[in-house]
Structure 1
Amino acid sequence: MAVHVVRLPATQVPGGIVGNQSGIDRKPIEIVRFGCGSSKRWRRLAVSASVRGNDENGGDKSVGALEMHNVLEDLPYDVFSRESPLLPKPLSSSQLVESVSTGSRVRVAYQGVRGAYSESAAQKAYPNCEAVPCEQFDTAFEAVERWLVDRAVLPIENSLGGSIHRNYDLLLQHNLHIVGEVKLAVRHCLLANHGVKTEDLKRVLSHPQALAQCENTLTKLGLVREAVDDTAGAAKYVAFHKLKDAAAVASVEAAKIYGLNILAEDIQDDCDNVTRFLMLAREPIIPGTDKLFKTSIVFSLEEGPGVLFKALAVFALRQINLTKIESRPLRKRPLRASGDNGLKYFDYLFYVDFEASMADQDAQNALRHLKEFATFLRVLGSYPVDTTML
């Protein structure tokens, strides 16, 4: 395999790794080209990129790729690639690792570690994809925006736990588009190391929602609950530390990956436990009318009697079915003062899903009507409805 290091001006860096940082004096960056024989190709290697410069005391400092925009004046910096280990460490905002894709496989970011339900959702959404774990939801959004991955698959609501509000906020903060949805049946298992029996257990680790969803089973077993960041992370912790008195609530896939024994399956209190995930991309898809489509929007309104009723009426007048409405306080301007009595009210953003394609004339007319009195309106995506269930 031939490897060539080429020094390029920052404006020629493929994929916008340095990005459109205005008002910054960009300096060159090294990009690696590799390939076998004549089949050479360019690859972006700002993966786990280290940005080096001098701190205020004259010493050396290094930050991760997602903090490049804060220290671009401290260039030059080195960009290098690193092969993904068998169980890759999740990407964090300070260390985004991009391994070289193979062939035409789609790289899909998800939150959690190997064996998470989100990884299963990514595999369902994009079969044979290269699933890339991320520590936080924010990191998955940023990884797509910075061309480190092609897509992200993130949870938006659960049939028992309700909406994931953090991801609603991130949808507005980032310039990504919803290009699909996927629904996944959540089946919790009680996992422990081999040789450990149920009567040996004193505690159980998992995500708070997973623990709550298995309340009846865990109460009968008399186990102390310990909350961690995610279900697969709990399984990984139990296996890594070879715990003999603790179990994890996680998936069958997590048991396989971390070599744990399944003590009990389907321990959730409610068998109808479904999580809906959104598929996110840098560019929207072209909506069609050949299948059932859903459109997601977000808007804000002036305060006043009946204003929300008028906003929702634009859909009812055209026989458009609403499937979801979620309100979130405005982050930068949460309170609005009333001129009549001096009271202050929350100022809201409204997230709405409706069953119609943006290719439908009725949907276009409804949004034109809504725009007449909405102070803000943004279409988050128009995408096919997932009618399947695992």
Structure 2
Amino acid sequence: MPRVAFQGERGAYSEMAALQYFPKAKLVPCKSFADAFLAAEKKQVDYAVIPVENSIEGSVGEANDLLLQTRLKAVGEVYQRVRHCLIVNKGVKIGDVRRAHSHPQALGQCRQYLQKKKIEPMPAYDTAGAVKMVKEQGGKDAAIASRRAAELYGMKILQEEIEDRKSNYTRFLVLAPAKADKAKGQYKTSMIFSVKHVPGALFGILGEFAIRRLNLTKIESRPTKETPWEYNFYVDFEGHVDDKAVRQVMKIVKAKTSYLKVLGSYKKAEF
């Protein structure tokens, strides 16, 4: 039975994603993303399941910054459908609620709902953790989290599916100390690179993928945090590092970049 780390309390969407990928795993909740990464790096767990982007709010900044530093390899991915609930203590009515606590990503995904109800968003470190806190504090504040979190903590659901967009998914990467073996199926590869400061540098790199008909599924820039206005590029594309075309493009891209890190190749997940 694998041991799998996730960030947050029991009932968090990260726990749900981990259960979706590892139905029989022993799950290990961690206070922060850094703690989940460290548990896997020190082999206290076999895997860590980490959210990297949401279909509404975009990338999870802290998690992506940690990907730049970690020695872990990406060995899988999973999409978790996110259905947010407004959760309160028993006896509280919708008209009583003035504040709602949750992770900043969840608050952003429910922005229009909260504005319409005139409820003040209150950032917390975790969705399920917000439910636990609201229960412990009592009172008329609400939390935004999953139905599973409400059930685990014996709380009342005032409204379900309060997210602003119903096509709300979070994408998680499954990380491990060693890369996964290749098997049958469609694969994706994730990598991070920075370009040299010459005109057309990024265009020249992306063109190498186009020439070999390698489909890019994501490209995003994030600040290096070392030099102002310099960026790392996070790229996902279809293919495995052992494929001939991917080996060719990696060789060329390495020569054209000032920094290159391959996070790993893994089976492509489906919605």
> Same fold by TM (over 0.5)?
yes
Give secondary structure in 2 for the equivalent of 1:353: strand
What per-residue deviation string (whole Å, max 9, x for no partner) do you get for residues 241-261 of structure 1? 222x21111100110111001
Quick check: 1:235–1:258 contact (8 Å CA) kept in 2?
yes
Matched, 1:177 2:60: no
TM-score (structure 2 length as normaliser): 0.95
Shift of the alpha carbon at 1:180? 0.4
Aligned residue in 1 for 2:240 = 357
Taking the aligned partners of 1:375 and 1:227, their CA distance within structure 2 comes to 37
Shift of the alpha carbon at 1:348? 2.5
Residue from 246, 250, 253 that aligns with 1:370: 253
Aligned residue in 2 for 1:66 = none
Taking the aligned partners of 1:227 and 1:173, their CA distance within structure 2 comes to 26
Aligned residue in 2 for 1:316 = 210
Shift of the alpha carbon at 1:265? 0.7
How many residue pairs align between the two structures? 271
Cα 1:372/1:212, change in 2 over 3 Å: closer
Taking the aligned partners of 1:253 and 1:211, their CA distance within structure 2 comes to 18
Shift of the alpha carbon at 1:136? 1.0
Q: How does 1:58-73 map to 2 (within 5 A)?
A: none
Taking the aligned partners of 2:85 and 2:72, their CA distance within structure 1 comes to 34
Which structure's CA Rg is the greater one?
1
5+ residue gaps in structure 1?
1-104, 336-345
Taking the aligned partners of 1:172 and 1:208, their CA distance within structure 2 comes to 22
Taking the aligned partners of 1:367 and 1:223, their CA distance within structure 2 comes to 49
Matched, 1:307 2:190: no
Residue from 144, 148, 160 that aligns with 1:253: 148
Taking the aligned partners of 2:250 and 2:144, their CA distance within structure 1 comes to 44
Shift of the alpha carbon at 1:163? 0.8
Taking the aligned partners of 1:378 and 1:199, their CA distance within structure 2 comes to 51
Structure with higher RCO (Cα < 8 A, 6+ apart): 2
Residue from 93, 109, 127 that aligns with 2:5: 109
Cα 1:222/1:125, change in 2 over 3 Å: same
CA RMSD of aligned residues (A): 1.4
Shift of the alpha carbon at 1:233? 1.2
Quick check: 2:57–2:108 contact (8 Å CA) kept in 1?
no
Taking the aligned partners of 1:216 and 1:379, their CA distance within structure 2 comes to 38
Give secondary structure in 2 for the equivalent of 1:372: helix
Aligned residue in 2 for 1:271 = 166
What per-residue deviation string (whole Å, max 9, x for no partner) do you get for residues 186-221 of structure 1? 100011112222223232222223223223332333
Quick check: 1:232–1:254 contact (8 Å CA) kept in 2?
yes
Shift of the alpha carbon at 1:170? 1.0
Cα 1:382/1:207, change in 2 over 3 Å: same
Q: How does 1:115-130 map to 2 (within 5 A)?
A: 115-130=11-26
Q: Identity of paired residues, percent? A: 47
What per-residue deviation string (whole Å, max 9, x for no partner) do you get for residues 333-383 of structure 1? x15xxxxxxxxxx33222211101122111111111212222222211000
Q: Would you identify which runs of 4 or more consecutive aligned residues in structure 1 move more than 3 Å?
A: none
Matched, 1:281 2:164: no
TM-score (structure 1 length as normaliser): 0.67
Shift of the alpha carbon at 1:284? 0.2
Taking the aligned partners of 1:249 and 1:232, their CA distance within structure 2 comes to 8
Taking the aligned partners of 2:230 and 2:116, their CA distance within structure 1 comes to 45
Cα 1:218/1:350, change in 2 over 3 Å: closer
Q: Aligned letter for 1:350?
A: F
Residue from 185, 194, 199 that aligns with 1:291: 185
Quick check: 1:287–1:358 contact (8 Å CA) kept in 2?
no
Structure with the larger helix share: 2
Quick check: 1:115–1:257 contact (8 Å CA) kept in 2?
yes
